[in-house]
Each structure stands twice: as C-alpha cells, then as structure tokens.
C-alpha cells in the first residue's frame, strides 16, 4: 500500500519536536535533520500550528508541541479519566466562586488544559489557549512547574526564556526558580498582574501519584479589583476543598 508522503513528513516533524525534549526546533534545524525542503517544512509546520498540534515560541521562534497533541493524549487514562471524573466538581467550584476556573495537567513538559469554565460575570478573565510559554506568569502554570525536577525545569527555561509580560512578571531564570520555591513552601500558587495587568489568580495542586507520575492543578482567576484579601482567602479555601475532592475521586 502506498504511503502518503505529506502525512509522513508531518509525522516526522511532530516526532522530531517531541524528541527535542521540550527545547523545540526551528525551520532550518528541522529541514536539516529530516532532509526536507525548508519551504515544505515551513508550510507543514504552520499548518500544524493552525490545527493546534504545534505552537511557536514568540521569542526563540522554535516550534513546540501544541495543545492539540495533549488533547490526543487525553485519550489515554489517566488524563481522560481525570477530565471526566473532575468536570462535575470543577463546575461546582466555578458555581461557588463565579470566577473563571481551570483544571490543567502536565503532559511531559507541556501544560494541557482539561476543563475550562469562564465566569458568568460581565467582567471576567479569559485564559490563554497556549499555556506552556506563559506558565511562569500564571498561577496554574507556577503550580505545575513547581513539581519539575531540576533537569526538566532547566529544559523548560531554555525552551521558554522568561519574558516580562508586565512590570511584576518573574522574568529571569533566577526569579522563576525563587518563585517556584515559594510555591512549594506555601503549598499553593498565586499571581497578581503578572501575565496581564488587572488579572490575578490562585492555584492548588492535585496529585495522583504512581508511575508514571501524574500531576494536575485547579486554578481560579479573576479581575484583580475583585480578588481582594478576603476574596482571595475564600477562593483559596474553595480551591483547596475541591482539589481534595478531585484528588480522592481520581485515586479510586
């Protein structure tokens, strides 16, 4: 049976980027490695980007696996199971807070949004579709990055060199590491105007354990003007409650 050459090349591109272990590849490097014409690589890579299977880092211009790849991986337990089991609890959490709530998980070094429920309020937060390159500026991203070992964190920082999205972004490798240590010490993650001015968020970890280790986080984000100290405390306690409930049903 004759093989489809274009599909073959597209799969070669996806596999080569996967093998880059989170550092990504540029057009010329993919062309050289795969012995494919640069124009063809460019066209295939951008088609894959438009479908969400790749994403391009704005700073390094390297291509990395996109959220659609993570969604395909959800066809495998445990992430498929987590999304199905957790969605009713995430909805209850969103109902209690009436803010934007997200459940996300680690897929390798990428962050896969599993359940996303926006607030019903007119002034509400919209999370970015591509999570990994913004992770150090988001609460859910910080929470998940805090579980990385040193090698994985170094690879992440090479793939996504920290960038000051706002004046309060942790925007150097050193400050990212320090922020992640604080997350581990506190047991939760928080951001205030770090990715977008006027947006704040909190996140709690959900861990299934076992091998391979599966890690997820539950987060709520809101306009900074609404997330005062009292509301932040309520939000954190609500996230903690539902994170514990999700963890219990996930481990059954």
CATH number of the domain bearing residue 45: 1.10.10.10
- CATH number of the domain within which 83 lies: 3.30.450.40
Range of the domain at 92: 72-251
Over residues 33-65, the pLDDT tens digits come to 889 888 998 999 988 888 878 888 777 788 887
Residue 211's pLDDT band (cuts 50, 70, 90): very low
Q: Residues in the chain, how many?
A: 252
The total number of structural domains that make up the chain: 2
* pLDDT tens track for 1-18: 566 788 888 888 888 887
Q: Select from 14, 46, 65 the last residue of a domain.
A: 65
| pLDDT: which is higher, 84 or 246 | 246
- The maximal CA–CA distance of the chain, rounded, in angstroms, is 65
- Gap between the Cα atoms of 192 and 201, Å rounded: 7
Task: List residues bridging with 192 in a β-sheet.
Answer: 200
């Amino acid at each position: 049976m004759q093989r489809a050459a274009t599909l073959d090349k597209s799969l070669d591109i996806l596999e080569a980027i996967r093998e880059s272990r989170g550092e990504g590849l540029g057009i010329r490097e993919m062309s050289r490695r795969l012995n494919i014409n640069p124009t063809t690589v460019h066209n295939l890579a951008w088609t894959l980007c438009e479908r969400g299977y790749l994403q391009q880092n704005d700073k390094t211009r390297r291509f990395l696996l996109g959220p659609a790849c993570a969604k395909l991986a959800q066809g495998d337990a445990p992430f498929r199971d987590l999304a199905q089991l957790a969605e009713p609890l995430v909805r209850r959490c969103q109902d209690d807070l009436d803010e934007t709530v997200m459940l996300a998980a680690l897929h390798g070094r990428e962050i896969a949004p599993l359940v996303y429920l926006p607030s019903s309020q007119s002034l509400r937060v919209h999370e970015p579709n591509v999570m990994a390159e913004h992770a150090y500026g988001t609460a859910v991203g910080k929470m998940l990055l805090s579980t990385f070992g040193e090698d994985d964190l170094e690879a992440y920082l090479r793939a996504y060199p920290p960038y000051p999205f706002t004046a309060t972004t942790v925007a150097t490798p050193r400050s990212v590491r320090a922020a992640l240590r604080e997350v581990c010490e506190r047991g939760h993650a928080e951001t205030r105007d770090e990715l977008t001015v006027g947006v704040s968020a909190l996140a709690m970890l959900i861990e299934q354990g076992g091998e391979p280790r599966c890690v997820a986080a539950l987060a709520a984000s809101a306009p900074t003007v609404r997330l005062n100290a009292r509301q932040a405390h309520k939000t954190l306690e609500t996230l903690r409650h539902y994170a514990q409930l999700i963890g219990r049903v996930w481990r059954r």
